[in-house]
Amino acid sequence: MKETMVRFENVTKRYDALTVLDNLNFDVARNEKVTIIGPSGSGKTTVLRMLMTLERINEGCIWVDGEPLTHMQKNGRMVLASDQHLRRVRGKIGMVFQHFNLFPHMSAIQNCMEAPISVLGLPKKEAEARAAELLDMVGLGDKKKHFPIQLSGGQKQRVAIARALAMRPKVMLFDEVTSALDPELVGEVLNVIRKLGAEHDLTMLMVTHQMGFAKEFSDRVCFFYGGKIAEQGPPERLFGNPQNERTRQFLSALL
């Protein structure tokens, strides 16, 4: 059996009266590449934000690499995990956002060195060597000293990917990482993600509207609707022969 890397167990998330995730059960295996699709407001981003512990859950439990991310069982009662525990588990996850979120006052290489030094306590030389290697890997070896303002959107996004990888995560989350890019810059970012998936031992979860990429890249596509996974399956099946009426409507509206 495949090892489970991420597990949502009966997870419910509400904002006041709005139930965004409704008793969600969702497992991702180690090394699996999963794409999350669904209409706006269906909770796709919330799933990723909860994995980054940017949001608290109301009910249920989330596990990463076998460790509870949200609550811990103690004497039969559910209690919140300590900050120290959360930091450690969160360290297994890297996230890339739609709007890059680079530090504007730092060069590309400094962006990739900051957290390894301040969070992991790496010596500067080691952090710098790792950052340089990752910037080479995303094709920005000649832009290491550039500041975000001197980079194109696609280049900024590739720095953001290198920065997330510098923390050596086991799981990478991509939240609509090409949505803010001009169409001609989308390909260079998708190429980097494709390469990462092929060459690294990484579990990857991606929210995207790039259905062509999802089809080619994913092991599994999950269609979110009404706070649940309405349908999921291998991309050929889900795109080629959707069973759920909502999935069919969603996909046909994209054509």
Question: Alpha-carbon distance 204 to 31, whole Å?
Answer: 7
Residue 44 is a binding residue for ligand ADP (CB under 6 A): yes
How near is the Cβ of 67 to ligand ADP at its closest, in Å?
A: 24
Residue 247 is a binding residue for ligand ADP (CB under 6 A): no
How near is the Cβ of 146 to ligand ADP at its closest, in Å?
A: 31
Q: What is the pattern of x (binds ligand ADP, CB under 6 A) and - over residues 140-179?
A: ----------------------------------------
Count the site residues for ligand ADP by CB under 6 A.
11
Query: DSSP letter string over 205-237?
Result: EEE-S-HHHHHHH-SEEEEEETTEEEEEE-HHH
Among residues 111, 157, 153, 105, the alpha carbon closest in space to that of 131 is found at: 111
Contact 177, 154 (CB under 8 A): no
Question: What phi-psi label fits residue 176: left (phi over 0), alpha (psi between -120 and 50 degrees) or beta?
Answer: left
Q: Which residue among 11, 20, 190, 205 contacts ligand ADP (CB under 6 A)?
A: 20
Q: Which residue among 7, 8, 28, 42 contacts ligand ADP (CB under 6 A)?
A: 42
Residue 203 belongs to what H/E stretch? strand 203-207
Of 34-42, 66-74, 213-221, 242-250, the window that binds ligand ADP (rule: CB under 6 A) is: 34-42
List beta partners, residue 18.
15
Give me the residues that bind ligand ADP (CB under 6 A), please: 15, 18, 20, 38, 40-46
